[in-house]
Each structure stands twice: as structure tokens, then as C-alpha cells.
């Protein structure tokens, strides 16, 4: 801050404008200071989730930059590569950009109403997708645990409308189009905490290191920002007591215990992004499906990071839609996510996430959806 000081020998009684402040040196002398803002705005990147100067790799030709620009005096101008962008009332801005093969640099400039500037740069490396398919040796079975909770016993936990229908739709597409057998797909409708734990226990006893597991959760979630802990809320969850809530860390422990070769966790719940060790997307662009299948994996895709998500889920809508329309004999979870990520961003307020589940044995592979009749 810079202070301009005016000394006066008279005593003012009228109201001073908000940009001025007065200090009385004595009963006859007043020092009036005008505060001049010299602090520039703050720019933070939401997507891609990288630090300034780092490379972000993608195989998507069109990409949406998402960030936040904030300043106490307000943002007067916001530019992305010299193009004016209008932030929302909360400072969120989005700009869809077209990429060229190789390195793409974007400069984000924000100026506040006091004329202070800040500039942030981001580098995006674009390489067209080059996933290729080799013959893969399928040894295990495909299992799915679909958890849908919309009716809550506690009167202060409001009910939802869509989770059960969403889970049923997912069950139908998995059984009709992909290598899932009906006896290996469990749908839990409005389960209690005990029901969920018992299902995880059963999977830990049943699955082998050759099997593949998809876990889907739709229902209420909660993020305790003070404790840095995320939760699922089963149907018997209390509004206040966490005794019957399911911690994200509990889910992680079970995903580590279950011996599946590949595990994919798909969650449509509030505050689900806390389960990641890192939020990544399309960091590799030339990987054989066989390699992805051969290496163990523990991945997750979620409808949001640490923000609430709506009852009517755009995320689940596009997730199931892409599974229904996919014609590729083999498609990785990351490829699938990439096919609908921008549709979710452009048609909702949530920012879907895809990444590695921390500390549960991921070795760089991926969950592969395989068509039943390609």
C-alpha cells in the first residue's frame, strides 16, 4: 500500500469518504491518508491442475481453460491470449481454446480497478491420440458393485431422486454391451453402512488378482475441510453423528485389500475429489491397450472435486451415454472419461476429475471396457 498524507490545522466534522482515513495527531491537527491499492489480482488455475510454467499434456484438440481471478476492488479486465473474457460474480472464468500439434502457450492477464496487473502463463502440449490395440489375454472376470442411495432414514438428511435409476441404467449397459455377467453385478439400493461394508468384505474374499472391479456410488457425500476427510452417507446416516458415515479412507483401504487386477471407482457424490493422490488427465498419449491391461491399476473418476454436485447428474448422464454409444472393442477408462469430460463442463457447474487413487497399488495400467459383441 502507498499512503498520501495531508496535514490540516483545522478539525473536520463531516463524514470522510471511504477511501480516506483520518488520524488525529492532537486536538487541533488532523492527518488524513488516502490508501492507494497497489496489490494485483490473484489468478488460480482450476483446470488444468498444474503450477505455472509446468507442461500439461492432452490429446484433445479443443480444451477449456478454467480458473478464478479475484481482487478486493474487483476485476476490470481479464484477457486470455489478448482475448477479453468475462468472469462470473465469484471470479470463475472459462475459455475454450483450440490447440495446435505441439506446444501451446497461453497468457492470462487480469487487471483490477486500481490498474494493477498480474500475468500467469500455462503451457499445453497437444498430441493427437495414438492409443493402439493389441491382442490382450483376458484371464479374469468383470465385477461391478453399484451403490445407489436416494432414501435417507434421518429426517434432516433430504432424499434424492435419481441415484437408483442412474445405477439401474448403468447396470443395463454393463450387462448388455460389456463383459459383465449378471451374477457378478451387485446393485445395492439404499444400503446401510453395514450393507456397504459387507459387500466390500465379500469382494475381498471372492476376487482374484486376474479380475476387474467397477465400483459406482451415487448419493450424498460430505467434505470436512477442517479435518481434510471425505465421506459417503449411507441410508442410515445421521445428520450430525458420523458413526454410520463411510470415510473415503475406508473405501481406499478396501480397494487396496481387494485383489482385483484393475479397479475403477466412479462416484457421483459431493466432495468426492478428495480421494485422489493427484488429479491427472491424458498425461500419456501413446499407450497400447495391452500395456494398460497388463499393468495393475486403481483409478477413479468423479463428478466433482471439493464442491457440491446436483441431484440430477449431468456427469452420470454422459458417462452412461458414452458407454452406450461406444463402438470401440476396447476402451480404457481414461479414454472414456476424455470422451465426455468437456460435455459435462459445458453443461453443468461441476468439474469432473480423473486420477490415481492414492496408496492402493496403482502401477500405471487402466481399467479396460471390452465390448461383448464388437
pTM: 0.71
Q: Which residue has the higher pLDDT, 225 or 212?
A: 212
Neighbours of 370 (CB within 10 A): 19
Instruction: Given CATH 3.30.465.10, say whether it is the number of domain 42-126.
Output: no
Sequence-separated contacts (24+) of 337-346 with Cβ below 8 Å = 337/281, 337/301, 338/59, 338/60, 338/281, 338/282, 341/281, 342/60, 342/62, 342/64, 343/314, 343/318, 344/303, 344/314, 344/315, 344/318, 345/47, 345/64, 345/66, 345/94, 346/64
pLDDT-derived band at 306 (thresholds 50, 70, 90) equals low
250-278: average pLDDT: 82
Residue 187: all three cell numbers together: 446393485
Q: Check residue 84 and give its pLDDT.
A: 93
Using one digit for the tens of pLDDT, what is the confidence trace for 36-74? 778 999 998 877 766 666 677 777 777 778 888 999 889
Residue 164: all three cell numbers together: 437408483
CA 194 – CA 196 distance, rounded (Å): 5
Identify the H or E element spanning 317. helix 314-325
Domain ranges in the chain are 2-36, 42-126, 142-370
Residue 226 exposed, middle or buried by CB count within 10 Å (0-12, 13-18, 19+): exposed
Q: Of 207-216, 221-230, 237-246, 361-370, which has the strongest mean pLDDT? A: 207-216
Asked if residue 129 has pLDDT above 70, the reply is: no
Peptide bond into 107 cis (omega under 30): no
Q: Check residue 287 and give its pLDDT.
A: 65
Q: Which residue has the higher pLDDT, 25 or 96?
A: 96
pLDDT-derived band at 311 (thresholds 50, 70, 90) equals low
Three-state DSSP state, 349:
coil
Q: Which CATH architecture does the domain made up of 142-370 adopt? A: 3-Layer(aba) Sandwich (3.40)
User: What is the distance in angstroms between the CA of the first residue and the CA of the last residue of the chain?
Assistant: 66
Question: Is the dihedral angle over the CA atoms 172, 176, 178, 179 positive or is it negative?
Answer: positive
Amino acid at each position: 500500500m502507498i499512503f498520501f498524507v495531508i496535514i490540516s490545522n483545522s478539525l473536520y466534522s463531516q463524514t470522510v469518504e471511504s477511501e480516506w482515513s483520518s488520524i488525529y495527531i492532537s486536538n487541533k491537527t488532523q492527518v488524513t491518508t488516502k490508501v492507494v491499492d497497489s496489490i494485483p489480482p490473484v489468478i488460480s488455475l482450476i483446470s488444468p491442475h498444474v503450477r505455472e510454467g509446468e507442461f500439461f499434456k492432452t490429446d484433445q484438440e479443443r480444451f477449456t481453460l478454467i480458473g478464478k481471478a479475484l481482487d478486493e476492488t474487483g476485476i476490470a479486465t481479464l484477457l486470455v491470449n489478448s482475448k477479453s473474457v468475462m468472469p462470473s460474480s465469484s471470479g470463475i472464468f472459462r475459455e475454450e481454446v483450440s490447440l495446435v500439434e505441439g506446444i501451446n502457450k497461453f497468457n492470462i492477464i487480469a487487471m483490477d480497478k486500481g490498474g494493477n496487473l498480474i500475468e500467469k502463463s500455462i503451457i499445453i502440449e497437444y498430441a493427437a491420440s495414438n492409443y493402439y490395440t493389441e491382442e490382450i489375454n483376458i484371464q479374469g472376470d468383470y465385477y461391478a458393485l453399484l451403490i445407489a442411495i436416494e432414501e435417507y432414514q434421518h429426517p434432516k438428511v433430504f432424499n434424492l431422486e435419481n441415484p437408483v435409476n442412474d445405477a439401474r441404467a448403468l447396470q443395463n449397459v454393463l450387462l448388455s454391451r460389456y463383459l459383465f455377467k449378471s451374477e457378478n453385478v451387485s446393485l445395492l439400493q439404499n444400503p446401510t453402512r453395514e450393507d456397504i461394508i459387507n459387500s466390500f468384505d465379500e469382494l475381498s474374499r471372492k476376487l482374484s488378482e486376474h479380475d476387474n472391479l467397477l465400483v459406482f456410488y451415487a448419493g450424498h457425500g460430505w467434505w470436512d475441510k477442517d479435518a481434510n476427510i471425505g465421506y459417503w452417507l449411507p441410508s442410515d446416516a445421521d445428520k450430525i453423528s458420523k458413526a454410520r458415515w463411510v470415510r473415503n479412507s475406508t473405501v481406499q483401504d478396501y480397494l487396496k485389500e481387494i485383489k482385483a487386477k484393475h479397479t475403477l471407482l466412479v462416484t457421483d457424490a459431493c466432495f468426492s475429489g478428495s480421494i485422489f493422490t493427484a488429479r491427472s488427465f491424458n498425461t500419456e498419449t501413446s499407450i497400447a491397450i495391452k500395456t494398460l491391461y497388463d499393468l495393475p491399476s486403481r483409478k477413479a473418476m468423479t463428478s466433482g472435486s471439493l464442491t457440491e454436485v446436483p441431484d440430477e447428474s449431468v456427469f452420470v448422464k454422459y458417462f452412461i451415454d458414452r458407454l452406450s454409444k461406444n463402438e470401440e472393442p476396447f476402451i480404457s477408462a481414461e479414454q472414456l472419461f476424455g470422451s465426455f469430460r468437456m460435455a459435462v463442463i459445458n453443461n453443468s457447474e461441476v468439474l469432473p476429475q480423473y486420477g490415481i487413487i492414492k496408496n492402493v497399488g496403482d502401477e500405471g495400467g487402466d481399467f479396460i471396457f471390452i465390448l461383448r459383441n464388437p
